């Protein structure tokens, strides 16, 4: 499936890493940038945790996100 900038997606698994806040599985996000083949490259997430709300962009790989139905 090909994605476009602005498409709504959902995290398929927990995403975390160096300099990346933890994104729980099932979190909604928006595609910010795609590869030439239409795969999502960067996704913007807005997460609410015990410290408040956070908005950030995460580099994603194949299988990290799926389209929101």
The pLDDT tens digits of the residues spanning 12-31 come to: 999 998 888 889 999 999 99
Q: Kindly report the pTM of this predicted structure.
A: 0.87
Q: Please name the residue ranges forming H helices in the chain.
A: none
Q: Which residue has the tokens 């194949």?
A: 62
Tell how strand 20-23 and strand 28-34 pair up.
Answer: unpaired
* Gyration radius of the chain over CA positions: 11
What is the overall mean pLDDT for the chain? Answer: 92
65 band by pLDDT with thresholds 50, 70 and 90: very high
Query: What is the pLDDT averaged over residues 40-66?
Result: 93
**Whole-angstrom Cα distance, residue 48 to residue 62?**
25
Q: Output the pLDDT for position 3.
A: 94
Q: Output the pLDDT for position 18.
A: 86
């Amino acid at each position: 499936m090909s994605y476009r900038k602005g498409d709504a997606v959902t995290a398929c698994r927990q995403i975390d890493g160096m300099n990346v806040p933890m994104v729980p599985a099932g979190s909604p996000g928006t595609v910010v940038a795609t590869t030439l083949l239409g795969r999502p490259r960067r996704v913007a997430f807005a997460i609410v945790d015990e410290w408040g709300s956070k908005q950030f962009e995460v580099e994603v790989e194949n299988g990290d996100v799926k389209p929101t139905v």
